[in-house]
Structure 1
Amino acid sequence: MSKHGAKNQAEHASTPAVAALLKARISHTLHPYDHDPNSELSYGLEAAAAIGIDPAQVFKTLCIYADGALAMGVVPVDHQLDLKAIAHALGAKKAQMAPPADAERATGYVVGGISPLGGRKRLPLVLDESALSFEAIYVSGGRRGFDIGMAPADLVAVTHGSIAPIAKSA
């Protein structure tokens, strides 16, 4: 075991997110934790506390509609997604949050476990520029109680995403 309780990298593909990273040969760490369904914290803040990482370094994946097309915004868990900023980053006139059922259907993941990796459909992805401040960021591994650590540049590369200032203070 390495820092922050990460499991050995010789793991099997426990989720589609892990499978996508293994297939792309992207270096990553696994961070399972016991999800408390009664926690009063948001899923992301619960993950940050459980794995002992600054919330600014743990990112949540939010599905939006930009001019009617689904896309993903990935922002720190202690921030909100700026809908005007992500619309601009995607070259859209307007963005709005996608209903949870639409996000779950498009990604194949449940809310609280939506990963930017390995979803059913490849959606355009924008990562908040604050991620570049860290060697590693932590995103959902595809289920509640499971995060993956990886370099921000690797997340952008494997998802064919982009980076822009899309977060605002909560």
Structure 2
Amino acid sequence: MTNKAPEGSPDRSGDPVETVRTFLRKKGYPDSITFSEETIFTVDDASRAVGAPPAHILKSLVFLVDEKPLLVLMSGINKADVKKVRSACNAKKVRMADPEFVCRWSGFQVGGVPPVGYPEEIPALLDEDLFLYPVVWAAAGSDHAFFPVSPEDLQNMTGGRKCPVRK
């Protein structure tokens, strides 16, 4: 079964990296987006391209919580625990959004999903382990673009909350 983008979702056919860059600039954060010849599609790919340990790579995961999008931001070495996400959101049904939904709804392809720049405000949960590191490396809208961000700035950017969501 394919997830459908919510009715009234904006057209997201523009350049996804520019969407992230525009968000960062509008919110007063540095535009420190870097492009890599190598892909950052997986955590291991990103770790090599960025030159940082896998734990410092940010995974931006889109879940559907009672059919509404939720961003779960994880340290690269951790996996999200659906039961913990459900509990944190006091939800009935939680599942990972499929790649087609993510792209259609957000304009971002899996492998380049950023923590910011969504078509609407999206609630976010931040893996507590992110706060163990001074900087994490986030995708910037493509599998060849990324930017550094402190977990504290990430929390401010997303309006998210620190939460125990890892397995």
Q: TM-score range by the shorter chain?
A: 0.7 to 0.9
Match of 2:26 among 8, 23, 31: 23
Q: Is the 8 A contact 1:106 1:121 kept in 2?
A: no
Percent identity reads 25
**Distance (Å, rounded) in 2 between the aligned partners of 1:122 and 1:97:** 18
> Corresponding residue for 2:78?
79
**Distance (Å, rounded) in 2 between the aligned partners of 1:33 and 1:42:** 11
State the AA in 2 paired with 1:107.
S
- Per-residue CA deviations over 1:117-156 (Å, capped at 9, x if unaligned) read 1122322111101111111111111111111101111111
Alignment of 1:87-166 (within 5 A): 87-166=86-165
Residue 15 of structure 1 deviates from its aligned partner by 2.0
Q: Is the 8 A contact 2:17 2:141 kept in 1?
A: no
**Distance (Å, rounded) in 1 between the aligned partners of 2:113 and 2:133:** 21
Q: Is the 8 A contact 2:17 2:140 kept in 1?
A: no
- Per-residue CA deviations over 1:21-48 (Å, capped at 9, x if unaligned) read 1111124633321234xxxx95222011
Distance 1:126 1:96, change over 3 A: same
Q: Is the 8 A contact 1:28 1:150 kept in 2?
A: no
Question: Number of residue pairs matched?
Answer: 152
Residue 14 of structure 1 deviates from its aligned partner by 4.9
Identify, as 1 or 2, the structure richer in strand.
Answer: 1
**Distance (Å, rounded) in 2 between the aligned partners of 1:151 and 1:157:** 10
Distance 1:45 1:121, change over 3 A: farther
RMSD over aligned Cα, in angstroms? 1.9
State the AA in 1 paired with 2:49.
A
TM-score, scaled relative to structure 1: 0.81
Q: Is the 8 A contact 2:17 2:145 kept in 1?
A: no
Unmatched 5+ stretches in structure 1: 1-12
Runs of 4+ in 1 over 6 A off after TM superposition: none
Distance 1:28 1:128, change over 3 A: farther
Q: For 1:143, what is the secondary structure of its paired residue?
A: coil
**Distance (Å, rounded) in 2 between the aligned partners of 1:160 and 1:45:** 28
TM-score, scaled relative to structure 2: 0.82
Larger displacement relative to structure 2 (24-33 or 102-111): 24-33
**Distance (Å, rounded) in 1 between the aligned partners of 2:166 and 2:37:** 28
Unmatched 5+ stretches in structure 2: 1-15
State the AA in 1 paired with 2:153.
D
**Distance (Å, rounded) in 1 between the aligned partners of 2:80 and 2:87:** 13
